[in-house]
Amino acid sequence: MLGTVVLFVVVAAIVIFVLVYGMRLVGMSEAAMRRAVMITGALGLLLLAVGLYLGLVWAPTAQIMGDAYRIMYIHFPSWVGTAAGYLTAFVASVLYIRTRKYGYDYVAVAGAEIGLLFNVVGLITGALWGRPTWGVYWTWDPRLTTTAIMAITFAGYLVLRAFLEDPEARARVSALVAIIGFVNVPIVYFSVRWWRTLHQVQSSPDTIDPPMVLALRVMMIAFVVIFLFILTQRFMLARIRGEEELEAVRLELAGD
């Protein structure tokens, strides 16, 4: 468990570092960066096609749950995307607070927005899996409730950013909100162990049929690659808008 968390943090730090400094360090042109993003997107699509085939056609039907379990192949990777997004926002926010470099703020908003996208997909697919297995779309189970709170927190983060006009104040306040909001992520993860209610605890690959594990791993890798593709695009957008905004502030100050 600790190893997985450390791995996630290291990967998030590398992604942030590459996004903020990568182009300058390796002298990568914007066209080359764009090509790299497109190759990432194509790889993501290829993995997704293979994963969908493995999950929907190749993997066997579950003994007790039947075919409804196949929602797992989209539900679980959505949570990987959610965790990756919020973790990216958290690490980038910490780095922004320490360095005050706007590049980290751009990565943070990209991570939070994409984390929320996958969070919404996870909630919808979870509800559609819950109905045939639990008999209800929604219940105030601790896992579901903490997950909904997590979505509301990061939606609030994005709304807050829209209301703050000063770039420095927006970056600082939203970084604090992302850091505080991230506290809920480990609570979501451990909620199924702390409060043993309706949602099952995390399964071990040892107890699952190997074809199911393979299909799930391919879908998880596909979602991580797609996450990186979307994150880079969103970062590029945030950077262009941020630079525009800072330029406008500079011109305004020069005019005074």
Binding site for another protein (CB under 8 A): 38, 41, 45, 48-49, 52-53, 56-57, 61, 66-68, 70-71, 74-75, 78, 117, 120-121, 124-125, 128-129, 131-132, 226, 230, 233-234, 236-237, 240-241, 243-244, 247
Closest approach of Cβ 70 to another protein, in Å? Answer: 5
- Contact status, residue 230 vs residue 113, Cβ threshold 8 Å: no
Cα–Cα distance for residue pair 69/38, rounded to 1 Å = 32
Handedness of CA 4, 8, 13, 15 (dihedral sign): positive
Q: Of 192 and 226, which has the nearer Cβ to another protein?
A: 226
Least Å from the CB of residue 124 to another protein: 5
- Nearest-approach distance from CB 142 to another protein, in angstroms: 22
Residue number with CB closer to another protein (187 or 245): 245
In contact, 38 and 102? CB cutoff 8 Å? no
Closest to another protein by CB, 132 or 186:
132
Q: To the nearest whole angstrom, how small is the minimum distance from the Cβ of residue 120 to another protein?
A: 6
Q: Closer CB to another protein, residue 9 or residue 240?
A: 240
